[in-house]
Amino acid sequence: MIFFKTIIAYFQDKQYRDLLLTTIIIIGFGSTIYHYLEGWSWVDSIYFSVITLTTIGFGDFAPSTAEGKIFTIFYIVIGIGVILSFVNTVYNHYNTTKKKKKKK
């Protein structure tokens, strides 16, 4: 139950909504570029964007064009900070909510 309360509280805060919107834009932008540069399906493009920016990197997809490889270099440098900020913010918000609940 605390998970759902955390998510609701998360969406009520403008700063968190802005970070979520930025994350969605970064993933959407990268997915669109991969879809057109590499000719991947939308699902594969989104999958690759998320896997790349979360630094999981399974290796089942890789850009094959020179343009795709160059884009990936810049995409990682720009996007990884945004994704890590998003994950860190969600984690911190969840912990703060959990601690507040324990105090009550």
Task: State how far the Cα of 104 lies from the Cα of 100, in Å rounded to an integer.
Answer: 7
Cβ neighbours, 10 Å, residue 75: 20
Q: How confident is the model at residue 3 (pLDDT cuts 50, 70, 90)?
A: low
CB contact at 8 A, 54 and 73:
no
What pLDDT is attached to residue 46?
96
Contact status, residue 2 vs residue 97, Cβ threshold 8 Å: yes
- The whole-angstrom distance between residue 98's C-alpha and the CA centroid of its chain comes to 23
Question: What is the architecture of the domain spanning 22-85?
Answer: Orthogonal Bundle (1.10)
Quick count: other Cβ atoms within 10 Å of Cβ 8? 9
Q: Where are the domains of the chain?
A: 22-85
Residue 36 is predicted with a pLDDT of 97
Q: What is the DSSP letter of 61?
A: -
User: Over the stretch 26-72, which tens digit does the pLDDT of each residue have?
Assistant: 999 999 999 999 999 999 999 999 999 888 888 898 999 999 999 99
pLDDT of 76-90, one tens digit each? Answer: 998 888 888 878 887
